[in-house]
A and B are shown apart, each in its own frame.
Chain A
């Protein structure tokens, strides 16, 4: 019988370390998805995934069994992603130069930084330009806004789960999501109004 998360945690804590694999197998892809959307590129996302599971393993004894393991893991993953983003932000010169280079020389290069080498059929529907603008708009969100927006918009997490991740009340989560959406609209709507995108494509 397949172990549930809590039982797997108990087994690891009891010394059966191989049971940690159950948690990696079950949550690895989801953590990657979150990390990718938070960081914007595969390399950083892979780094976040590994750091998340390492931190999770090290702190497993502080996991409160009454809470949801996935919410706890998402909180760790969000913090790992936020740490990495903060680290990247420290090298501001590099980012600014990279942005300027992308904007002036090759507008698609930057998109490629966030894109994947194997576009699926769904992605074919989206224009490169829209993806670039979404990426750029998300870069302009603050870390908390991006966390709340990614968790709600892409990951479909409930307001209270996001509150659990960010450690704030539901009302504050709603405000943060709204702030993020407002910024995204400001960035994207002029472009969309110009008719450069197929409305309703998702």
Chain B
């Protein structure tokens, strides 16, 4: 007989996420008894959703519509266009252009004076807005991890694998946004992102499971630096900037300024 199933395997079996548990259960009364108990508990967990009126959708739309009317209309961004399957050909062409530009920059003789082409700037407003939205989302997710860790009771062994993995995923993104902010001389955002990066790296270097004391130390480091507060402040500023840039007239729509038009 195969080894007994773990509690986690039995839980996952309840949700249909295991493959071979059925065979073992057929021949093991110990695991079957445990599974019966898990099934009884999980089957009893209900949280019924209140019935909505038949015209719920119409009511929802009538509440939303006036709010949408005063919201700036969404428009297809470069990213949306590029990521549509039928636009992959364009994306491919763009990629070739980028590679060609890179190679040209690398191998063509350099002039002492920068080429006038270098002075042509990308449409700043549109790019900034896309960047601000992305940074806002990034800070949202960062805040979620920090809140999660700050509110987890530091008792016994604590599994922080999900938070650790989220932090790992966010480190590279954070680095890119920080470098962009530094390049744009956006010191306030760059400084906060710098602190965030240290905390994310700190979290990602922890094992999946930590002791109460380790978690407490991590919580203290987060708290002593006031990172969560700073993230919230900068997040609201980024979102406000994103909104104002959306509202700003799109001067960059003047095609003569665009280096590349999709």
To the question of whether A and B form a pair in one complex, the answer is yes
A20 to B12, CA, bound (A): 37
Judge whether B130 and A58 touch: CB under 8 Å: no
Question: How far apart are A80's CB and chain B's nearest CB, in angstroms?
Answer: 10
Partner of A50, one of B67, B77, B140, B246: B67
Most buried by A among B41, B51, B61, B71: B41
Interface size class of chain A, counting residues whose CB lies under 8 Å from the partner chain: 35 or more
A153 to B41, CA, bound (A): 12
- A65 and B141 in contact, given A86-B147, A188-B45 (Cβ under 8 angstroms): no
Count of chain B residues with Cβ under 8 Å from any Cβ of A? 63
Interface status of B7 (Cβ within 8 A of chain A): yes
Judge whether B144 and A24 touch: CB under 8 Å: no
The 8 A CB mask of A25-66 against B (1 = contact, 0 = none) is: 100110011001100001000000110011001111111111
- A200 and B84 in contact, given A54-B71, A61-B75, A62-B79 (Cβ under 8 angstroms): no
A152 to B44, CA, bound (A): 15
- Stretch from B92-100, B112-120, B163-171, B174-182 at the A interface: B163-171
Interface status of B17 (Cβ within 8 A of chain A): yes
Interface status of A101 (Cβ within 8 A of chain B): no
Q: Which of chain B's residues have a CB closer than 8 A to the CB of A181? A: 11, 38, 42
Dominant secondary structure at the A interface: helix
Judge whether B159 and A54 touch: CB under 8 Å: no
Q: Which of chain A's residues have a CB closer than 8 A to the CB of B7? A: 178, 182
Judge whether A172 and B165 touch: CB under 8 Å: yes
Judge whether A13 and B74 touch: CB under 8 Å: yes
Partner of B85, one of A42, A66, A79, A131: A66
The 8 A CB mask of A124-155 against B (1 = contact, 0 = none) is: 00100011001100100011100010001110
Q: What residues of chain B have their CB less than 8 Å away from a CB belonging to chain A?
A: 7-8, 11-12, 15, 17, 37-52, 56-57, 60-61, 63-64, 67-68, 71-77, 79-80, 83-85, 130, 133-134, 137, 140-141, 143-144, 147-148, 151-152, 159, 161-163, 165-166, 169, 208, 246
Q: What residues of chain A have their CB less than 8 Å away from a CB belonging to chain B?
A: 10, 12-15, 17, 20-21, 24-25, 28-29, 32-33, 36-37, 42, 49-50, 53-54, 57-66, 79, 82-83, 86, 89, 116-120, 122-123, 126, 130-131, 134-135, 138, 142-144, 148, 152-154, 159, 166-169, 171-179, 181-182, 184-185, 188-189, 192, 197-202
